[in-house]
């Protein structure tokens, strides 16, 4: 499985309009090479460079199995879970200093949705039900 964005190239800067302090527009994401037998997707965006344990920027599950793309700024086809900003929505890059990495991890799941999911168990539940996963990384620098 493979995931990419038309808004940024692997390892390159995420656009300014995606930043929390700017327009806070979610980036475009697309994927292919999906394995057979999946029932849904789940998406995690994490900044491992923030704080001691990282910062969760976006948590989405229940993305239908036929979906292969999320357009920039578009409504998400799935259920968003409260992130480390206290919002069930995309909260873009907002590093206090320096350059941070933003990992977008997509899981192809064997279940239609994650039961009893919250930010504290999101990753663990994804890994438990994951058939395959893919990741892309963007960066953002404090300006």
Summarize pLDDT for 15-73 with one digit per residue, the tens.
999 999 999 999 999 999 999 999 999 999 999 999 888 999 999 999 999 999 999 99
Total structural domains within the chain: 1
What average pLDDT does this structure show over 91-98? 93
Sheet with 69-70, strands from edge to edge, namely: 2-4, 29-32, 69-70
Is residue 143's pLDDT more than 80? no
pTM: 0.96
Give me the domain span that covers residue 117: 2-141
Q: The domain spanning residue 125 has which CATH number?
A: 3.90.280.10
Question: Dmax of the chain from CA atoms?
Answer: 44
- Measured from the Cβ of residue 79, the count of other Cβ atoms closer than 10 Å reads 16
pLDDT value at residue 52: 80
- Measured from the Cβ of residue 9, the count of other Cβ atoms closer than 10 Å reads 11
């Amino acid at each position: 499985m493979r995931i990419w964005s038309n808004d940024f190239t692997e390892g390159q800067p995420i656009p300014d309009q995606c930043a929390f302090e700017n327009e806070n527009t979610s980036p475009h994401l697309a994927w292919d090479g999906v394995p057979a037998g999946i029932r849904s997707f789940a998406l995690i965006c994490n900044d491992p460079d923030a704080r001691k344990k990282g910062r969760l920027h976006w948590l989405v599950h229940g993305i239908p199995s036929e979906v292969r793309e999320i357009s920039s700024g578009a409504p998400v086809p799935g259920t968003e879970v409260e992130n480390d900003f206290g919002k069930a929505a995309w909260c873009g890059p907002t590093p206090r200093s320096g350059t941070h990495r933003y990992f977008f991890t997509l899981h192809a799941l064997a279940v239609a949705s994650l039961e009893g999911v919250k930010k504290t168990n999101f990753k663990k539940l994804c890994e438990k039900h994951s058939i395959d996963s893919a990741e892309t990384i963007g960066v953002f620098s404090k300006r």
